[in-house]
Amino acid sequence: MLQGRRSMVQMTGEQPRRRTSLVGIAENEVSNPARRMSRSMMSDTGSSINSFKRSIAMKPRLEMENSYRTVPIVKFPSSAVSKKIQLILDSRLTNLKYEHDTCKALCNQLSDVIKDEVRRDIRDIERYKLICWVSIGQVSGQDIRVVSRCLWSHQHDTCSSASFQNNHLFAVATLYALYYDGCYYHKVD
């Protein structure tokens, strides 16, 4: 490509122009009819940038905390979490009959409740990402196998699971706790 440019320069006799500053770039592009932008468009762009800067200034400032921890301080207590999940399933599903629409919404609710309860009750897990999966089905003489696979660190990541069954429905809840060794954000006063 460089040789092609040299041959074009030799044929036409013109020297290639070099841009030495940002001002030169803006002037060259405005003077070029193919890339020209009207002055009114440039002033509109400037005002939108200023309003964007103002909106950023009004938001609370977030800073990253220095993170040199690549291993958790406390190992995730999977046995205590399994007991907590079992208590939640027992309390919410004991006298319930299977209905497709209500169980669909109940899966989402149970997932949120399990994550919130675990975050609230168990301390020192702020660097764990919690993923909760709840499945509810009808008991009608069938078998089911629940299998999951994940790519994770076997030293730090873990999961907790519990199941529930009555005469009308069954439920399986699994909470995956994945250690996130990166920085996390917090508000600066």
Report pLDDT digits (tens) over 64-115.
666 667 778 788 899 999 999 999 999 999 999 999 899 999 999 999 999 9
pTM reported for the whole predicted model: 0.60
Only one residue has tokens 């199941």, namely 163
Based on its alpha-carbon atoms, the radius of gyration of the chain, rounded to whole angstroms, reads 30
CA distance 136 to 111: 11
- The mean predicted confidence, pLDDT, of the chain is 75
Whether the Cβ atoms of residue 133 and residue 108 lie closer than 8 Å to each other: no
58-82: buried (b, 16+ CB within 10 Å) or exposed (e) per residue?
eeeeeeeeeeeeeebeeebbeeebb
pLDDT of residue 43: 46
Give mean pLDDT, residues 140-160: 85
